[in-house]
Amino acid sequence: MSAPLRPDAGRQWDGSDDPRYSPDESVGELMGKVASDIGALLQTELELAKVELRAEAQQVGRAAGMLGAAAVVAWFTAILLSFAAAWGLGELLDSPALGFLIVGVIYAIVTAILFVQGRRRMREVHPVPEATIASIKEDIQWLKRQAS
C-alpha cells in the first residue's frame, strides 16, 4: 500500500491547528467555509486528473505514432523495393516466382516485428488516473470520519 497523499491522513482532526476555523464562528459561517474547502478540494482533484490524463495521452500518441510509422515504412518499402529485389532474386535463381516469394516473406517478417513493438508500447499505457482515484477515495473516507 502506498503512503497517504496528505501528511495528516489517518489522524483525527480537531480543528485546533487550522487558522481558517475559529470556535467563535457561527454554524452558517463554518458551513460556508466547509463548502468553499470542498470546492477547492474538487478543483485540486480535477487538476490532478488532467495532469495524469495528459501524460497518458502523450504515451498513447507516441505509441500510435510508432504504429503509424511502422505501417508507412512497410508500405513504402514494399512498393519501392519489392519489384527490384524480387526481379533480382528471380534472375539469380532462374525462377521469378521464387524471387517474389522470398521478398514477400522478408517484408512480412519486418512488418510483424514493427507491429509487435508498437503493440507492446501501447500496452504500457494506463488511461485510468489511478492517483486521482486513490486521492478521492481517501477524501471520501476522511469526510465519512468527520461526519460520524
Selected residue with higher pLDDT from 21 and 116: 116
Residues in the chain: 148
**pLDDT above 60: residue 16:** no
CB 10 within 8 A of CB 4: yes
What is the grid cell recorded at 41?
A: 478540494
What's the pLDDT band for 10 if we cut at 50, 70, 90?
Answer: low
- Name the 3-class secondary structure at 9: coil
Q: Specify if 34 maps to a domain.
A: yes
CA gap 119, 62 in Å, rounded: 12
Residue 133 lies in a domain: yes
Q: Is residue 17 part of a domain?
A: no
Residue 19 lies in a domain: no
Q: How many domains does the chain have?
A: 1
Find out whether 86 and 49 touch, Cβ atoms under 8 Å: no
Taking only the tens place, the pLDDT of each residue in 22-51 is: 667 777 777 788 888 888 888 888 888 888
Task: Provide the domain limits for residue 47.
Answer: 27-142
* 108 occurs within a structural domain: yes
State yes or no: pLDDT of 6 exceeds 60.
no
Calpha distance 81→107 (Å, rounded): 10
pLDDT (tens digit, 9 = 90+) per residue, 84-139? Answer: 888 999 999 999 899 989 988 988 999 999 999 999 999 988 888 888 888 888 88
Question: Can you give the pTM of this predicted structure?
Answer: 0.38
